Chain A
Amino acid sequence: MSSYPLQCSVSNSDGTLLFLVVKSTILAFKQQKGEFEQAGRWTDTLFETDSQQDGVKKLKSNKGEAVKKADSPAVGSAFSLQIRNLTLTPDESKLIACADSDKSVLVFEIDYNNPECLKLVKRQPFPKRPNAIAIGDDGDTIAIADKFGDVHQMSISGQVLASGEESQPILGHVSMLTDIIMAKDSAGHRFVITSDRDEHIKISHYPQCFIVDKWLFGHKQFISSMCCPSWNSSLLFSAGGDDSIYAWDWKKGTQLSQFNYSGLIKPYLTNAHLAAERFQNDEKDVIEYAVSKVVSSSNAHCVAFFVEATKCIVLLDVCPETGSLTLMEIIEFPSNVVSLSEANDEFIVTLDTHSSGNGRLVEFVTREADTGLFKVNIPKCQTFEKALAAALKNENQVGSNATDLYPLYNTISLKKHGEHYS
């Protein structure tokens, strides 16, 4: 029996406050004098009451009521991750998250002095499940990209809209949205960058979202993740089902480079990467893999990514002028990587210890000042693990049922197989 993995993390910029998600609970940790202690905990009680129905796909009737689909077990993303997209506002006074239980965006006030630092101040449900969020430069506007392809916006401080008054989307794709970024060019013009399950990255003006600036063409497969580094505002990195990481100058609309990782990832692929039965060939050796997440470092000219269900993260060196990508290092872990986030040149990696049976749940990868290389910060990991173990003492343990862990490995399910002929 090992603990359920932490599926998402975010840290403040000086690393003193860390938020993690385990199932439907958000845990907050404070670092003081080198020691971590639990600073808050919030559990989505809506999920608890809903959990009896888990695993049953629901349909919406024409009157808008939820109807259980008879005898059909849910497949794919219908097993929900419960809480996703942890994001801190730029002033680090609020934490934003998305709850799958009622498809809502959650706003927490962070009170650093209170022993329970998380205070839910807003819960705004949306008609479709939010898949990704981005915070605008005013620190108050959030753009929410949903599973149905629409982008809604919401003010953090504004009133909660009642269920009747639906907000109109500000832009949309006819495809599931996978990531969203709010960006600014040197002239001060603002943009929304959205990526989808088809191969599209669309750049729209903001707040004039009805004016599409351009598309970035080049991906051959779905896109799962994008990031813009803070040290070069015209650079954009994107990745997903393709076996390359793409670097773009999104302002000019040009592709700067591609980094093909298919060779280096081969040793890390396992039977878990064999394609599903119905997509297999006669030899049963079709493998499918995808990048789950790509993040950039705050100061170092570097991006990190990981391929779903592998035990490593890959760090790439970025030439800030040309955007070309070269391999810097591969950092291996004892178990599969589940999530990756970054704060102040430190990568926070959460692991699925269920895949190996033991080991730490969270690893901190910090940059060594003298060599510029990234290394696992073992003392920090060990101190944190103690605090985490205390916090997770009463948490549900993960059973032997593999479907419990399925929601951690669903990026590849975005892959299109062109099943519909006519």
Chain B
Amino acid sequence: MKTKPLSQDPGSKRYAYRVNKEENRKELKHVKIDENSVAQKNGKLDLPKKKFYRQRAHSNPFSDHQLDYPASPDEMDWSKLYPHFYDQETGKMAKQVTIADIGCGFGGLMVDLSPEFPDELILGMEIRVQVTNYVEDRIIALRSNHAKEEGYQNINVLRGNAMKFLPNFFHKGQLSKMFFCFPDPHFKQRKHKARIITNTLLSEYAYVLKEGGVVYTITDVEDLHHWMVKHLEEHPLFERLSESWENEDKCVSIMRNATEEGKKVERKRGDKFVACFRRVQTPEII
């Protein structure tokens, strides 16, 4: 990937911070962090500070970004993202990614899901470069600080455009849960195709979700909530889960409380709208 000046002012604090973190990231991103390697260094890694990763909140999903993505799911090297689940002897992954957080933002949901689903691999996808860097640094720090109990080995993040390239990463029926937390509302009607939930994209989500898999949505924008519910309800491969199901599901409560956006809405005492849908059985082909 081409590197660009991270800041206009090389003398700035942000610039220095980003350069330092970038070196750290290069070194640690794909390394198997375990107790021994941490013990040698004998230091606790600081969690990254959000103020150094500021970026505008929106990204155009139709642009030709410089993205890294595999040509097909078979060509994806997951061992670099989840080294603890890679079997050196067989050269294979012990687990596949089954939970995806689409537009994971600063990664709060994944961090809380990680201990709840220790045997499942969780992947966050985020389109904004700096935000992805923040999540990477956060995971590096968490892995390092929890090396003793091998914590946070089952989460990682990818910079990517899920609306375009989701099928490049996942096989048919690979996922059991997909999260869409506080997506970009794209208020203007002309921008509605840029929304992450559309009837045509739902067919692609239904492809990567296994039958019985769940789509989780949460937003503080009521209009967007109604939009997502309408499109999911209209789609023949999804059915809405009841409120009582929502109240009992642990992911729903984590989603309500864990994400950065969720916390922000909490502070502002705003509303949060949740809707969950099950991927139903594929009907007989006519």
Residues of A within 8 A of B (CB): 60, 62, 148-150, 168-169, 171-175, 189, 198-200, 204-205, 207-212, 214-215, 217-218, 220, 416-422
Question: In the docked arrangement, what's the CA distance between A198 and B163, Å?
Answer: 12
Q: What is the interface size of chain B, counting residues whose CB is below 8 A from a CB of the partner?
A: 45
Q: Of A168, A209, A215, A418, which one neighbours B167 at CB under 8 angstroms?
A: A215
Distance (whole angstroms) from the CB of A165 to the closest CB of chain B: 16
Distance (whole angstroms) from the CB of B207 to the closest CB of chain A: 4
Q: Of B65, B72, B203, B286, which one neighbours A218 at CB under 8 angstroms?
A: B72
Among residues of B, the one whose C-beta sits closest to the C-beta of A209 is: B203
- Does the CB pair B66–A189 fall under 8 Å? no
Interface residues of B in 226-240 (CB under 8 A from A): 235-237
- Does the CB pair B237–A211 fall under 8 Å? yes
- Does the CB pair A417–B64 fall under 8 Å? yes
Question: In the docked arrangement, what's the CA distance between A169 and B231, Å?
Answer: 13
Chain A residues with CB below 8 A from B237, complex form? 210-211
- Does the CB pair A214–B61 fall under 8 Å? no
Mark each residue of chain B from 47 to 83: 1 if its CB lies under 8 Å from any CB of chain A, else 0.
Answer: 0000000010001111111110001110000000000
Interface centre among A174, A205, A208, A214 (most CB of B within 10 A): A174
Chain B residues with CB below 8 A from A199, complex form? 71
- Does the CB pair B64–A422 fall under 8 Å? no
Q: Of A210, A212, A421, which one neighbours B129 at CB under 8 angstroms?
A: A421
CB<8 Å pairs between A and B, sample of 6: A172-B200, A205-B285, A211-B237, A215-B72, A417-B64, A422-B129
A-B CB pair tally, cutoff 8 Å: 93
Among residues of A, the one whose C-beta sits closest to the C-beta of B74 is: A217
Among residues of B, the one whose C-beta sits closest to the C-beta of A211 is: B282
Residues of B within 8 A of A (CB): 2, 4, 55, 59-67, 71-73, 128-130, 161, 163-165, 167-168, 172, 188-190, 193, 198-204, 206-207, 235-237, 282-283, 285-286
- Does the CB pair B72–A420 fall under 8 Å? no
Question: In the docked arrangement, what's the CA distance between A417 and B2, Å?
Answer: 12
Chain A residues with CB below 8 A from B161, complex form? 174
Q: Of A150, A168, A220, A419, which one neighbours B71 at CB under 8 angstroms?
A: A220
Quick one: given A60-B190, A208-B285, A210-B237, are A421 and B201 in contact (CB under 8 Å)?
no
Distance (whole angstroms) from the CB of B240 to the closest CB of chain A: 16
Question: In the docked arrangement, what's the CA distance between A101 and B109, Å?
Answer: 48
- Does the CB pair B188–A212 fall under 8 Å? no
Q: Of B60, B128, B165, which one neighbours A198 at CB under 8 angstroms?
A: B165
- Does the CB pair B200–A150 fall under 8 Å? yes
Interface centre among A62, A148, A208 (most CB of B within 10 A): A208
- Does the CB pair A421–B4 fall under 8 Å? yes
Distance (whole angstroms) from the CB of A300 to the closest CB of chain B: 32
Chain A residues with CB below 8 A from B202, complex form? 210
Quick one: given A60-B190, A418-B65, are A189 and B206 in contact (CB under 8 Å)?
no
- Does the CB pair A62–B203 fall under 8 Å? no
- Does the CB pair B190–A174 fall under 8 Å? no
Chain A residues with CB below 8 A from B130, complex form? 422
Chain B residues with CB below 8 A from A211, complex form? 203, 206, 237, 282-283, 285
Chain B residues with CB below 8 A from A212, complex form? 167, 203-204, 206-207
Question: In the docked arrangement, what's the CA distance between A189 and B286, Å?
Answer: 7
- Does the CB pair A420–B203 fall under 8 Å? no
Chain B residues with CB below 8 A from A208, complex form? 236, 283, 285-286
- Does the CB pair B203–A210 fall under 8 Å? yes
Question: In the docked arrangement, what's the CA distance between A159 and B154, Å?
Answer: 55
- Does the CB pair B203–A174 fall under 8 Å? no
Among residues of A, the one whose C-beta sits closest to the C-beta of B196 is: A174
Chain A residues with CB below 8 A from B190, complex form? 60, 62
Question: In the docked arrangement, what's the CA distance between A28 and B201, Å?
Answer: 41
Which 4 A-B residue pairs are closest in the complex by CB-CB distance?
A: A172-B200, A217-B72, A418-B66, A212-B207
Distance (whole angstroms) from the CB of B156 to the closest CB of chain A: 21
- Does the CB pair B163–A421 fall under 8 Å? no
Among residues of A, the one whose C-beta sits closest to the C-beta of B131 is: A422
Among residues of B, the one whose C-beta sits closest to the C-beta of A61 is: B190
Chain B residues with CB below 8 A from A200, complex form? 167
- Does the CB pair B66–A421 fall under 8 Å? yes
- Does the CB pair A175–B235 fall under 8 Å? no
Question: In the docked arrangement, what's the CA distance between A168 and B200, Å?
Answer: 10
Among residues of B, the one whose C-beta sits closest to the C-beta of A416 is: B64
Interface centre among A171, A200, A422 (most CB of B within 10 A): A422
Question: In the docked arrangement, what's the CA distance between A174 and B199, Å?
Answer: 12
Known: A148-B193, A168-B199, A172-B200. 14 other contacts (CB 8 A): A60-B190, A150-B193, A171-B203, A189-B286, A200-B167, A210-B202, A210-B203, A210-B236, A211-B206, A212-B167, A215-B167, A419-B64, A420-B63, A420-B66
Chain A residues with CB below 8 A from B235, complex form? 210
Chain B residues with CB below 8 A from A418, complex form? 64-67
- Does the CB pair B164–A174 fall under 8 Å? yes
Quick one: given A210-B235, A214-B172, A217-B168, are A420 and B282 in contact (CB under 8 Å)?
no
Quick one: given A168-B199, A422-B59, are A218 and B165 in contact (CB under 8 Å)?
no
Question: In the docked arrangement, what's the CA distance between A417 and B67, Å?
Answer: 11
Chain A residues with CB below 8 A from B66, complex form? 418, 420-421
- Does the CB pair A169–B203 fall under 8 Å? no
Among residues of B, the one whose C-beta sits closest to the C-beta of A59 is: B190
